[in-house]
Amino acid sequence: IMKNEDVIVRKSFDFAAKIVKLHKYLVEEKNETVLSEQILQCGTSIGLNINEAKSAVSGNISAAKLSDAAKEARKTEYWLNLLKDSEFITEKMHYSLSKDCSDILVLIKNILLTSKEKFNEN
């Protein structure tokens, strides 16, 4: 489980940096401010929730924060799809960001399942 936690912290931080760059691109190149603010908020909060989960004082709080991270990742996927379908980002940009977001969601789910299994063993 610790290995997955280290990987997810790094991946979610790298993803947040990409989202910040996407926000900058949308504002400066596409003159888009409403959708870009939405994706900036949820795309960067994934990693924030993961970091909070890692430093949580109890397993329940950690699981809640990881669940919040998953919720923000699903919101991010929604905004990415909308940005693609409204032609603010290319298919290639969408694919890359969506894949990263999906990978993070899989890691979150795996950590939550592993944590639940360990809890049930005790």
User: Residue 36 contacts by C-beta under 8 Å, 6 or more apart in sequence?
Assistant: 22, 23, 26, 27
User: Which token pair is 120?
Assistant: 């049930």
pLDDT tens, residue by residue, 36-51 = 999 999 999 999 999 9
User: Which token pair is 99?
Assistant: 């894949």
Could you tell me the pTM of the whole model?
A: 0.90
pLDDT tens, residue by residue, 48-89 = 999 999 888 888 899 999 999 999 999 999 999 999 999 999
- Asked whether 4 and 97 are in contact (CB, 8 A), the reply is no
**Which residue type, as a one-letter code, is found at position 37?**
E
> Rounded to 5 degrees, what angle do the CA atoms 61, 50, 9 make?
140
Q: What is the pLDDT of residue 1?
A: 42
